[in-house]
A = this chain, B = another copy of it.
């Protein structure tokens, strides 16, 4: 029952959205004195009603509350779905005495079904009467879908506190791959917090890639209460955010129930960081390569075949591959004996050196396993 940062209250209940009776609805309130906010949303063109709503809310960079539910994504639900999101924000506004336009709404679960609104309204009545400061654990549990454990990260810097929660990601949320995260802090944020938060998101959450599928609901929200009275510099904020978001990203990839391996793909010698990310992502999304890793098969030819599909500067005849420390390919040809590669550990380290520059990036992914197919083949029925 860890505490939220100063200036935050929250609570969660089982509103009956999940058939299991687990926590499925939570409310987080920023009681100020500041109500700074920044947010990053899914890049998918098809977005859920809560994303359409929340994108408008966070344009003003002022957020007083966030309401999040699991047990239903409220995506592809038409005008009624949007009205439901709107009414949820209005209900929260009414209960907390704030404007609905200051309320972010997040949903996660199955696409294409309307939420049971009476249960949400009743749940919010109960929650709003039970708001407390030591609710970090409850809040983190209420957004879980197929996650096996709740994800929480905290940090302290210069007397300020950060507490962050997250759920989902690809293989561990085989349903919809929805990623939700809320970062709370009592620090006074610098003016360009949005810019910093976008950059941190890009280097943490956007560098875990379980299956290349982006969701209709992905939302990452930063809320600052300023209650510590301590103003952080840009670099201090960035360091604290890298800490909590980096930790959560690692927790997400580690909780990939359908996987047997975590693969850290590091591309070195790239002409630019974006080239390095592009090449790493091409590997992370290559099914043949991911199956080979599941099978503990040091088939580095699939690495080069994947690298060659990336839109990045390279010399196809001068690429090196180092797999779990074994330099299996040099100048795009066999080098050390691939049978020396051990797959005994869960973590697999794959390094690709493009030998054309000095930029580096790492993307984390998982293998493609029988359990991935199993979990994702029988979700909605």
**A334 CB, min distance to chain B CBs, angstroms:** 5
A360-381 vs B: 1/0 string, CB under 8 Å? 0000000011101110111111
A105-140 vs B: 1/0 string, CB under 8 Å? 000001111000000000000000000000000000
Count chain B CB atoms within 10 A of each CB in A75, A111, A113, A298 and give the residue with the most: A111
Q: Does A143 contact B (CB under 8 A)?
A: no
A315-340 vs B: 1/0 string, CB under 8 Å? 01101000000000101111000100
Nearest residue, chain B, Cβ from A46: B308
Report B-chain residues with C-beta under 8 Å of the C-beta of A376.
Answer: 287-288, 291-292, 295, 368
Report B-chain residues with C-beta under 8 Å of the C-beta of A297.
Answer: 377-381
Report B-chain residues with C-beta under 8 Å of the C-beta of A319.
Answer: 46
Q: Does A215 contact B (CB under 8 A)?
A: yes
**A79 CB, min distance to chain B CBs, angstroms:** 8
Q: Does A301 contact B (CB under 8 A)?
A: yes
Report B-chain residues with C-beta under 8 Å of the C-beta of A81.
Answer: 333
Q: Does A212 contact B (CB under 8 A)?
A: yes
**A95 CB, min distance to chain B CBs, angstroms:** 29
Question: How many residues from A make CB contacts under 8 Å with B?
Answer: 70
- Of the candidates B46, B177, B368, the one whose C-beta lies within 8 Å of that of A316 is B46
**A366 CB, min distance to chain B CBs, angstroms:** 11
A334 x B368 contact (CB < 8 A):
no
A111 x B73 contact (CB < 8 A):
no
Report B-chain residues with C-beta under 8 Å of the C-beta of A355.
Answer: none
Q: Does A155 contact B (CB under 8 A)?
A: no
- Of the candidates B299, B316, B369, B379, the one whose C-beta lies within 8 Å of that of A380 is B299
Report B-chain residues with C-beta under 8 Å of the C-beta of A331.
Answer: 78
Q: A residues near B, CB below 8 A? A: 43-47, 73, 75-81, 110-113, 174, 176-177, 211-216, 285-288, 291-292, 294-302, 304-310, 314, 316-317, 319, 329, 331-334, 338, 368-370, 372-374, 376-381
Instruction: For the A-B complex with A75-B301, A213-B288, A292-B380 known, give 9 more contacts whose Cβ atoms are closer than 8 Å.
Output: A45-B307, A45-B316, A75-B305, A76-B300, A76-B301, A80-B333, A112-B329, A212-B287, A370-B374
